[in-house]
Amino acid sequence: MGDMTVDDGGHLEALLECQVRTRPDAVACVTGGRTPRAVTFAELAAVIDRTAASLRTAGVRAGTRASVMVQPGVEMVAIVHALLRMGAVPVLVDRALPQPALRACLAEAAPEVFIGVPLAQAARVALGWARTCVRTTITVGPRRLWLGRTVRGRRAGVPPEWADGPQPTLDDVALIAYTSGTTGVPKGVPMRHGHLLAQVSMLERTRPLAPGTRVLSTFPPFAVAATLLGACAVIPAADARRPSVLVADVRRFGVTVLFAPPAVLDRVARYCLPRGHVLDPVRTVFTAGAPLAHTVVERARACLPADAVLYSAYGSTECMLVSAIEGRDLAVTGAVTAGGAGTCLGEPLPGQLVRIIAVTDGPIRKWSDDLLVPPGTIGEITVTGPTVADPYLERPGATARARIADGDRTVHRTGDLGRLDDLGRLWFAGRAAERVRTPGGDLCTGHVEPIFDTLRGVHRTALVGVGPPPGQRPVLVVEPEPGTSRKQRARIRSDALALAARRPGTAAIRHVLFHYRFPVDVRHDTKIRRDELAVWAAHRLHRGAR
């Protein structure tokens, strides 16, 4: 990283300035399309300077909230860097969210500036996004029928020195990111510059990035983090979650590091294997957003070079990253996972204090060691460390349920169930809100589902509860492999019920239903929306479906 590392301190954008100073001619970003565009660190810095200057002329100042709805590319990277450098606050909301949720998020964040492509600008007017708070609009891309000022037009004639201003401190709010929103409306998470710097430090410690590596991520904002660490962000022109696009761009641009959620990685492997494709340039795969199943590890390894490493990371928007495990270690624990012991998430990263507390659905105001469960016992995973973000935006109730005061520290309750083993490794057992509460005790999704995911013809499964707790009926919902016949489904149901009956922890499962496309989170499409599946399952059982 040149003459500066993340742990040297300073502000976030100093990391990028270090790359510009020591490696000005190295490529910072590559964008795909018919005419690929490569931008060096020096060129990116020049675009950031003019962008910051133009934003300042538009009235953007330190603390100004600016919604950013821009296609992945150099413009997106430059705009986010410019806002961070100015001390303004980018508001990052996924445009793929359902309209009511997206509108609610923008109303809550109350951005004063709306930076977006023409389609987003038109949608803002037509659908009333942030109608009462936006005072300035800036369009990215061709103006066409949209009459607002464009970022390119604002840059013209603005001296770069106009970008100069006071640097934000580590205590200043850097951005507002929204959680994936697996239940209800996503929650806004304000992150200070110190939190982001700590997150980048955690990412650096997993060693997937180094100066000069070419990185492709299906999560576009990650391109900003890649440039901070001196890597080259490869940004496809099309949706990188489509396996054909991703595989083509990996080969076209010589991608050495691939970031993707488990579901996307699985689709890539399923695309490559029948075609005999091997992702030759890739040396590191980094996956996050959901536990990585052993079956996905096996498929992914079959289309990766023999010396490639595969990391599965655990964390959340509120405290990324917490732990990581390499795929070979995950393969060793795969048999235990298939036996119902949960998924191993690896050892907590240095600086992250992970503790397991007794499960309770109510808020906990003050930390006490009496909350801790005995070693090896399932409880709720908590995290204390430098990456833990601020309280949720305008959500005092959600904040009270997710935070515990511990002296001058804050403990984040993840809402995930898990345990720490004798080796200090963290194991995942599922979401606390998704546990099925039966008369015979609670069933954890992360314990039950891997048992049945190994059955022939099963793509994935979801455990849901029907009825009010603690008298819920456990129902196993199966998403079969494509093309599964009625006869094969009957065999899967028979095998699943027989397997459930043989195990004390699953003997209460008497119902197996088939659903052919699980509802999932729009950003991390591995995260199953089990609340919606539970409603569907209740309806099906009421109708007497099999």
Q: Is 403 part of a structural domain of the chain?
A: yes
Q: What is the pLDDT of residues 17-51, one digit of tens each?
A: 999 999 999 999 999 877 888 999 999 999 999 99
Residues 518-522 have a mean pLDDT of 83
pLDDT band for position 183 (cuts 50, 70, 90): low
Q: Does 192 score more than 70 pLDDT? A: yes
Compute φ and ψ for 106, nearest 5 degrees.
-70, -35
Query: Whole-angstrom Cα distance, residue 172 to residue 166?
Result: 12
pLDDT band for position 245 (cuts 50, 70, 90): confident
Residues 452-457 have a mean pLDDT of 95
Q: Does 502 score more than 60 pLDDT? A: yes
Considering only residues 474 and 290, tell me which one the structure prediction assigns the higher pLDDT.
Answer: 474
Vertex 218: Cα angle to 126 and 427 (nearest 5): 115
Residue that terminates a domain, selected from 184, 199, 214: 199
CA 307 to chain centre: 26
Nearest by Cα to 186 from 268, 93, 122: 93
- The rounded mean pLDDT for the chain is 90
Task: End-to-end CA distance of the chain: give it in Å, rounded.
Answer: 58
Residue 124 pLDDT: 92
Asked if 416 and 488 sit in the same domain, the reply is no
Q: What is the pLDDT of residues 406-438, one digit of tens each?
A: 999 999 999 999 999 999 999 999 999 999 999
Residues 274-280 have a mean pLDDT of 95
Asked if 132 and 193 sit in the same domain, the reply is yes
pLDDT winner (highest mean) among 113-122, 282-291, 438-447:
438-447
Q: What is the pLDDT of residues 356-409, one digit of tens each?
A: 999 999 999 999 999 999 999 999 999 999 999 999 999 999 999 999 999 999
Residue 162 pLDDT: 61
| CB count in 10 Å sphere of residue 127 | 13
Asked if 184 and 61 sit in the same domain, the reply is yes
Asked if 460 and 359 sit in the same domain, the reply is no
H or E, element range at 80:
helix 74-86
Residue 184 pLDDT: 67
Query: Whole-angstrom Cα distance, residue 72 to residue 220?
Result: 6
Residues in CB range of 346: below 8 A, 6 or more apart: 312, 314, 323, 324, 325, 326, 329, 425, 426
Residues 247-258 have a mean pLDDT of 94
Asked if 188 and 77 sit in the same domain, the reply is yes
Residue that terminates a domain, selected from 199, 232, 251: 199
Asked if 195 and 81 sit in the same domain, the reply is yes
Mind giving me the DSSP string for 204-227? HHT----TT-EEEESSTTHHHHHH
Residue 9 pLDDT: 47
pLDDT band for position 181 (cuts 50, 70, 90): low
Asked if 372 and 442 sit in the same domain, the reply is no
Q: Is 204 part of a structural domain of the chain?
A: no
Any bridge partners for residue 286, and if so which?
A: 259, 311
Per-residue tokens: 297: 């590890």
- The residue range of the domain holding 63 is 57-199
Residue 34 pLDDT: 78
Q: Where are the beta strands (DSSP E) in 369-516?
A: 379-384, 403-406, 409-420, 426-431, 436-438, 441-443, 458-466, 473-480, 511-514
* Range with lowest mean pLDDT among 75-84, 151-160, 211-220, 299-308: 151-160
Asked if 448 and 538 sit in the same domain, the reply is yes
Any bridge partners for residue 215, and if so which?
A: 233, 257
Considering only residues 519 and 523, tell me which one the structure prediction assigns the higher pLDDT.
Answer: 519
Asked if residue 536 lies in contact with residue 506, where contact means CB atoms within 8 angstroms, the answer is no
H or E, element range at 16:
helix 13-22
Per-residue tokens: 231: 């890597």
Residue type, position 114, single letter: F
Percent of the chain with pLDDT over 70: 93
Total structural domains within the chain: 3
Query: Whole-angstrom Cα distance, residue 311 to residue 407?
Result: 34
Considering only residues 183 and 430, tell me which one the structure prediction assigns the higher pLDDT.
Answer: 430
Query: Whole-angstrom Cα distance, residue 463 to residue 435?
Result: 8
CATH number at residue 490: 3.30.300.30
Residue 160 pLDDT: 65
Q: Is 342 part of a structural domain of the chain?
A: no
Residue 61 pLDDT: 93
Q: Is 252 part of a structural domain of the chain?
A: no
Q: Is 247 part of a structural domain of the chain?
A: no
Residue 148 pLDDT: 66
Query: Whole-angstrom Cα distance, residue 41 to residue 81?
Result: 12
pLDDT band for position 98 (cuts 50, 70, 90): confident
Asked if 394 and 472 sit in the same domain, the reply is no
CATH number at residue 385: 2.30.38.10
Asked if 472 and 423 sit in the same domain, the reply is no
Residues 90-98 have a mean pLDDT of 88
Per-residue tokens: 222: 């990650």
Query: Whole-angstrom Cα distance, residue 258 to residue 536?
Result: 35
pLDDT band for position 2 (cuts 50, 70, 90): very low
Burial of 476 (0-12, 13-18, 19+ CB in 10 A): buried
HEC letters along 139-151: ECCCCCCCCCCEH
Residue 448 pLDDT: 97
Asked if residue 180 lies in contact with residue 528, where contact means CB atoms within 8 angstroms, the answer is no
Any bridge partners for residue 461, and if so which?
A: 478
Residues in CB range of 276: below 8 A, 6 or more apart: none
Q: Does 240 score more than 90 pLDDT? A: no
Q: Is 223 part of a structural domain of the chain?
A: no
Q: Is 190 part of a structural domain of the chain?
A: yes
Considering only residues 545 and 234, tell me which one the structure prediction assigns the higher pLDDT.
Answer: 234
Q: Does 452 score more than 80 pLDDT? A: yes
Compute the CA torsion angle 143, 147, 151, 153 (nearest 10 deg).
90
Query: Whole-angstrom Cα distance, residue 456 to residue 439?
Result: 31
CATH number at residue 194: 3.40.50.980
pLDDT band for position 8 (cuts 50, 70, 90): very low
Q: Does 525 score more than 80 pLDDT? A: no
Q: Is 217 part of a structural domain of the chain?
A: no
Residues 327-350 have a mean pLDDT of 93
Residue 182 pLDDT: 57
Residues 183-211 have a mean pLDDT of 84
Residues 255-280 have a mean pLDDT of 94
Asked if residue 189 lies in contact with residue 221, where contact means CB atoms within 8 angstroms, the answer is no
Asked if 125 and 176 sit in the same domain, the reply is yes
Asked if 63 and 194 sit in the same domain, the reply is yes
Residue 151 pLDDT: 83
